[in-house]
Amino acid sequence: GDSVTQMEGPVTLSEEAFLTINCTYTATGYPSLFWYVQYPGEGLQLLLKATKADDKGSNKGFEATYRKETTSFHLEKGSVQVSDSAVYFCALHDAGKSTFGDGTTLTVKP
Amino acid sequence: DTAVSQTPKYLVTQMGNDKSIKCEQNLGHDTMYWYKQDSKKFLKIMFSYNNKELIINETVPNRFSPKSPDKAHLNLHINSLELGDSAVYFCASSPRQKSGPRTGELFFGEGSRLTVL
What are B70-90's pLDDT values in tens digits? Answer: 989 999 999 999 999 999 999
β-bridge mates for residue A27, sequence order: none
Range 13-42 of A in CB contact (< 8 A) with B = 31-32, 34, 36, 38, 41-42
Are the Cβ atoms of A46 and B111 closer than 8 angstroms?
no
Strand order in the sheet with A62-65: A19-21, A75-77, A62-65, A56-59
Segment B14-33 mean pLDDT: 95
Q: How do strand B53-57 and strand B64-70 relate by DSSP bridges?
A: unpaired
Residue A17 pLDDT greater than 90, yes or no: yes
List, as one string, the DSSP characters of B53-88.
EEEEE-S--TTEEEEEEETTEEEEEE-S--GGG-EE
B106 chain-A contacts, CB cut-off 8 A: 34, 36, 44, 46, 91, 98
Chain B residues whose C-beta is within 8 A of a chain A C-beta are 4, 40-43, 45, 48, 55-56, 90, 92, 101-111
Exposed (0-12), middle (13-18) or buried (19+): which is B43, by Cβ within 10 Å?
buried
Are the Cβ atoms of B43 and A100 closer than 8 angstroms?
yes
Segment B86-112 mean pLDDT: 86
For residue B96, the model assigns a pLDDT of 76
Looking at chain A, which residue has its C-alpha nearest residue B105?
A46
DSSP type of residue A82: G
Distance set, CA B96 to CA B58, B75, B102 (Å): 22, 21, 4
A49 touches chain B (CB under 8 A): yes
